[in-house]
């Protein structure tokens, strides 16, 4: 079931639709719309920024044969640390920072933090 062909077909089939749906949810032209307002003003945006950037760092880190934690922080500690950081960002986003006070800089910072964390603690390697 999970052959290379299946994974390729699955990825190219779902990704464009998922991105368009996310874009409409994030950007939706209907200001005053409950869902769009919730996405823009609540903690969802910085948390999603963190998750998206974490995956971008995971896939598109700088070095092909990079080891998790530079070879110092190995399995399972790398998963425990970035899982804990994700939980922390989620708690900060949804519970600690008051709804409505989140501005653009917080998701922007989360992009850099998420990318660095994904690249350092969870880099995917190229199979030789």
Where along the sequence are the contacts to other proteins (CB under 8 A)? 2-5, 7-30, 33-36, 45, 49, 52-53, 56, 58-62, 64, 103-105, 107-108, 110-111, 115, 119, 124-127
Q: Mention every residue, 6+ apart, whose C-beta is less than 8 A from residue 20.
A: none
Tell me how far CA of residue 52 lies from CA of 5, 24, 29, 66, 128, in angstroms. 25, 16, 22, 20, 27
CA distance 110 to 122: 16
Shortest Cβ distance from residue 81 to other proteins (Å)?
Answer: 18
Least distance from other proteins to the Cβ atom of residue 110, Å: 7
Check whether the bond before 76 is cis (ω within 30° of 0).
Answer: yes
Please say which residue, 96 or 101, places its beta carbon nearer to other proteins. 101
Min dist CB 27 to other proteins, Å, is 4
């Amino acid at each position: 079931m999970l052959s290379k062909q299946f994974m390729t077909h699955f990825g190219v089939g779902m990704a464009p639709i998922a991105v368009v749906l996310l874009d409409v949810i994030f950007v939706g032209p209907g200001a005053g719309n409950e869902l769009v307002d919730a996405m823009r003003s609540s903690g969802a945006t910085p948390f999603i920024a963190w998750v998206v950037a974490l995956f971008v760092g995971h896939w598109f880190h700088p070095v092909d044969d990079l080891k998790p934690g530079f070879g110092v922080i190995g399995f399972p500690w790398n998963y425990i640390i970035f899982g804990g950081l994700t939980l922390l960002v989620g708690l900060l986003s949804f519970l600690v920072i008051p709804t409505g006070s989140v501005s653009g800089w917080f998701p922007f910072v989360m992009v850099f933090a998420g990318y660095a964390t994904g690249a350092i603690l969870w880099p995917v390697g190229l199979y030789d």
